[in-house]
Each structure stands twice: as C-alpha cells, then as structure tokens.
A and B are shown apart, each in its own frame.
Chain A
C-alpha cells in the first residue's frame, strides 16, 4: 500500500449523487427509514454497519436492483429513477458485487473486455481482436498500478486480492462517475487487502471517480476514505468526516450505543459531519 499523502477533497467539489429520504420495506420488514446520503466528486465514502443495517438494500437501490418506496435520487443535478441495473449503469454508476462476476475460465484480458469486445474483420468474419484487448488491458492495469503475473492467465489462477483489483479495474474502464464496491475486503488476508486498499488510494488521489465502499468494519478502511456513514437498523446513525475524527473517537461513539439519539448526543461531543 502506498504512503503518499492524499490531497484533501476540494471544498468546492460538486455533489455527484444525492439520495434523499429513501425508505424501503420488504413486506413487514423495514429495511431503510428515511436515509439520505450525499457524495461529492472524487470522494471516497464508506458505508459501515452490521448485517441487516440496510447497507445492501441502499446499494441495491442505487444500482437499480430495487426501487425505493419513497425518496429521491439526484445524479449529476437531475432526478433519476432506475428501473433496472442497466439504467443505473447508463447513469455512470458501476457496482462491483462481492461475487466479482469474474469468469474463472477466461483470461484476465477477456474478462476486462467481456461484453465490450474489440473485433477485427478477417475474410468477412467478425473475429475477436485478442491482440488489441491484450495490449489495452496491460496498459490499463499499468495505469491503475495493478500488477498481475500476466494478462493471459485465467482468472481462477489469481489470488483473491488480484481478482478484486481486476473486477474494480473492469468497472472503472467504462468511466463511471460513481463506483460502488460491495465488501471489497471480505475474505481477503492482510496482504491481499493491502492490494485493494492501494488501488482505492490510487483512485482517491486522482479525485475523478467517486467511490462508495460497503464494509462491516471501518478500521480497515479508515485511511482510504474521506467520510464514514454508520447505518443502524435502517437509519444513518452517524455521518463523520475522517479528517475531523480520529479512529479512536469513532470507536468510542459506536460503542456508546447504536441508537440514533445516543449517537447524536455523542456526535455533538465530537463534531458532526455534513448531514
């Protein structure tokens, strides 16, 4: 993981996404209550919470899998409605799910270009331009600072961290405005996690893509994110900037009890983030 200092987020960075007052129930189960999140250009936001806190539901609404019962989504200044994941993708919102959606039997470069292959015409046949895809994949991975044994090796030969990096790289290739990473460190070892965190840090340094990280535990990602939102029982319990809050303070707040009021009271003690 690299150690270079990350420039702070520009104060005038435009808001790229605003989800306001989102509520969602599945039958009798209430998944989200009046949740609002805001994301600025180039910002890395971590959504933290236990199982059932509503992180996944929120993300599935953002990526078009679920539709909210109430609330609005404003993307690049205009209100949007996502009927399907395709709609969300068209708006520049790419999501890397936990399963990564990589094809183990295909090479790294075929995975990178799956669904948007390069072709060349040979004797009137529309054949894959493997050489071009191979070169482009190599250049692109170098650009992101991702190193793998070979772009020719099949994905099932790569480690978990390398796979996560490939999945992220593939998503960034389509120039998204917002990149959502669902549990990017799940099931990864320390060294493996470092690869992924290094990649997020590289993205953060460039301040082009806004990133939403979904994690169980914020202590692994404290250094790579600008802001942390705690979700608890379907509500945003705390919105804190990592620049103004230390890791220890956050731990104290979280441990002080996870009810909204308790958190609010505790947060007033520190410094509330931009809600």
Chain B
C-alpha cells in the first residue's frame, strides 16, 4: 500500500451509490451468464428433436454423431472466440484443419513416423501458421480478415498440390485411434464397453480443451490481458499490457486447436482428405461462437457458450434430417439463428451501457 494516511471512509466520500433496479439486475445477469440463455435454447432443441424422432435423438448411436460434430465445430468455435475477444478473426482455420492431419498421414505413410509423433508435428504446424497470421496482422497492420483469407488459399493450395487432391489413407494405430478418434457408436456396442466409451472421446477432448480455455480466459493474467486487448487496445497498451503479443498468442492457440480438431477428424475416418476442412467449417464455427454469445466487437466472449452454440448447430444439422426435413433446411434455421443471436447480443450490450448513471 502507498504511504498515504487513510481518510475516514464515507465522510469525504466522492461518487454516489447507484441503486440496483430489477431491470438492471436482469441485464447484468443476462450479460454475465450468456451461456445460460443459449443452454436453454439447446435444451428446448433437444426436447423438440427427441419428441419429433420418437426418442431416437438421444440414443447413444445418434448422440455419437451429434457430439462428434459438436466436438469438431466446438473446438474451432472456441478458438475463434479467443481471437474474437482480442478483436481479430481467423478464416484460415479450415485450411489448418486440412493440412495438419495431411502432414501427419503423409509422414506416417512415407517415412513410417508414428501417428502420435505426426500429430504433435501437425499441432506445431497449426501453432506456427497461427503465429505467422498473428505477426502479419500485428506487425504489418493487415486486417486479420485479409491476412487469414490469404493464408486460407495459400495453405489450401499447398495441401491439394501435394498429391493432386488425393486423400491419404492413414494407418490405424491403436490406442492412438481409440483415444483421439474412435469410429462412431455401433448398435451392437454396449454403453460401458471400450468402444462404447471411446466413441465419445473426440467430444471429450473438446470439452477438456474448452474447459482449459475457459479457465485461462477467466482466471489467469493471460485471459485478463486478452480481454483488455480487445476491449480497449490503446488503454491496455498504456497500462503496459503487451497487446500485440496477446493477439499473436491467441492466433497460435487458434491454429493449434484447428490442427488438433483436424487430427481427431482424420483419426475417426482413418483417412486424411486434403479438402476435409472447407471454408464452410470455419463459418459454421463462427456461427456457433456468435450463437453462443460472443460478439465480433471484441472485449467479451465465452468459450463455454461457443461449445453449446456448436451443439446447437450440430443438432440442427443432424436433427432436422432425422425428423425428416431436407438436409438443406438446417441452413435456413442456422442463418436466422446467427442474425437473431447477434441482434440480441448487441441489444443487451446497448441496454446495459445505457442503464449506467
């Protein structure tokens, strides 16, 4: 504490006490627990599909499909959330999603490199690409939208030119495949069997990483500085936050997450498709992030919300087909949901700041 004699608190108090009204409390609650409102949406959706499919939606077999998609989308969505909080975005994640497992499979097939080693190298490639994206964005002041679109085409071009767009069949290695990307749950599986449990590992990895990111965001200096960077970059710099570094670190995290998601995907299909990650995957992930309560304005966001948002998107994609709708119908709902979520998010923010004294 500084060497200042304490004054009698209250006597010379400056500032006024603001009463908390009900509306104010509700708005603060809504903005603080954005995850809660999207969780309600997810539950309603589950009930709707469960009833509509005569109980088929919540079967382990169907859930392993929904949760596989949730895991893939959620990991990329959470990575985008971290970037969106710093005020940036990465559209090259789908290309990283393709190139990392492709390199892993290629090394395994040509040099006999174990998949585990290849996976580590793949993730490192993702981190490196993220670092390059970050450095170009921060040092050369190229908007990240442009940097990463450039990177998207660049990487996509590389990965398809290696083998003329041919997929590589990745060798199945146990326990690598079981732990990182087990095949889907079969009707013959028992829920507590080895295969029955590991069918959900891709989703569990995502849960684990999302929880780690949530902890980093809300309980560490790293998270605090990430939020500060996106909320007020000039102010953050004046206080001594290394804002440029925070952005680069989050690009690296995003690249690593996308690479890991791609590796899980390849382990599941035992095949590395150079076009596994279409740019549509990144857009769906951004949709999941926005539906989950993260705005593109920077300064706030929730990775847990992104995971629930990913579940909503995956449920829509699969559930509508299950209850007999055309596969393309889900895009109509998705499009409407993105716009509605964004309007809600901005309105809550606006109301909230207007309520201030």
Instruction: Name A residues whose Cβ lies closer than 8 Å to a Cβ of B.
Output: 1-2, 4, 85, 97, 99-106, 110, 114-115, 117, 119, 125-128, 130, 140, 142-149, 153, 156-159, 161-162, 165, 172-175, 194-196, 198-199, 202, 206, 208-209
Contacts and interface: CB of A to CB of B under 8 A. Distances in A.
B54 interface: no
28 contacts: A4-B12, A105-B231, A106-B231, A114-B225, A114-B236, A114-B241, A117-B221, A119-B221, A125-B220, A127-B220, A128-B224, A143-B6, A144-B7, A145-B11, A146-B13, A146-B15, A147-B13, A147-B15, A148-B15, A149-B18, A149-B20, A156-B353, A157-B353, A157-B357, A159-B357, A175-B3, A208-B3, A208-B5
Nearest to B349: A156
A97 B356 contact: no
Contacts of B230: 105
A111 to B, nearest CB: 9
A127 B224 contact: no
A125 B239 CA distance: 25
A128 B219 contact: yes
B228 A103 contact: yes
Name which of B18, B236, B299 has the most chain A CB atoms within 10 A of its CB: B18
Given A103-B235, A106-B231, A128-B224, A145 B3 contact: no
B142 interface: no
A264 B7 CA distance: 41
A109 B20 CA distance: 19
Contacts of A196: 14
Given A146-B15, A165-B14, A105 B299 contact: yes
B227 interface: yes
A97 B238 contact: yes
A145 B5 CA distance: 12
Range of interface residues on chain B?
A: 35 or more
B227 A103 contact: yes
B235 A102 contact: yes
B232 interface: yes
A128 B12 CA distance: 32
A149 B24 CA distance: 13
B12 A202 contact: yes
A106 B12 contact: no
Given A114-B241, A117-B224, A105 B300 contact: yes
Interface of B: 1-7, 9-18, 20, 28, 215, 219-221, 224-225, 227-228, 230-232, 234-236, 238-241, 299-300, 352-353, 355-357
A115 B235 CA distance: 12
Nearest to A140: B1
B232 A101 contact: yes
Given A202-B7, A206-B5, A106 B227 contact: yes
A194 B224 contact: no
A158 B2 contact: no
A162 B221 CA distance: 25
A268 to B, nearest CB: 39
Contacts of A130: 219
A136 to B, nearest CB: 8
Contacts of A101: 232, 234-236, 238-239
A127 B219 contact: yes
Nearest to B297: A105
Contacts of B355: 157
A157 B239 contact: no
Given A146-B15, A195-B14, A173 B2 contact: yes
A195 B3 CA distance: 22
A106 B219 contact: no
A222 B230 CA distance: 39
A153 B232 CA distance: 17
Contact of A2 (B12, B17, B239, B241): B12
Contacts of A157: 352-353, 355-357
Contacts of A117: 221, 224
Contact of B13 (A99, A114, A145): A145
Contacts of A100: 235
